[in-house]
Homo-oligomer: A and B are copies of this chain.
Amino acid sequence: MESLIASTPAPPYYVVVFTIVLAEDLEGFEEMGNRMVELAAGQPGFLGMEYGTGDLDLTISYWDSLESIAPWRHHAEHTLARNLGREQWFQAFKVRIARVERDYEFRKEEGFGG
């Protein structure tokens, strides 16, 4: 379960909500997405990522500061991927950068005993 919900420190930290409306031709998209996850995870200040899809494609990434987000946004391979996306995979997207002020969590107690 630890590997699913991103492990983030006590606030404040930052979240980038990347919402995509996908186009029809998704050839190469998943592969590129996996590469971007791998790259992002190696960036200074990266805290974690969560992903979900449906009518929209949602990628949530967590960062320690605004100062960590900017270099990732301008990273050469990331920029190339975004440009490919604009040409091929994305009908539309929105990126929102937000400062996490509060968080709380729930975790069901499991009977691990015995």
* A44 CB to nearest B CB, Å: 20
How many identical chains are in the complex?
A: 2
* A73 CB to nearest B CB, Å: 10
Closest to A66 in B: B101
Check if A15 is an interface residue, CB within 8 A of chain B: yes
Check if A103 is an interface residue, CB within 8 A of chain B: yes
Check if A106 is an interface residue, CB within 8 A of chain B: yes
Closest to A69 in B: B102
Across the interface, which residues of B come within 8 angstroms of A50, CB to CB? 17, 19, 56, 58
Please report A residues at the B interface, Cβ cutoff 8 Å.
Answer: 1, 4-6, 8, 11, 14-15, 17, 19, 21, 23, 50-58, 60, 66, 86, 90-108
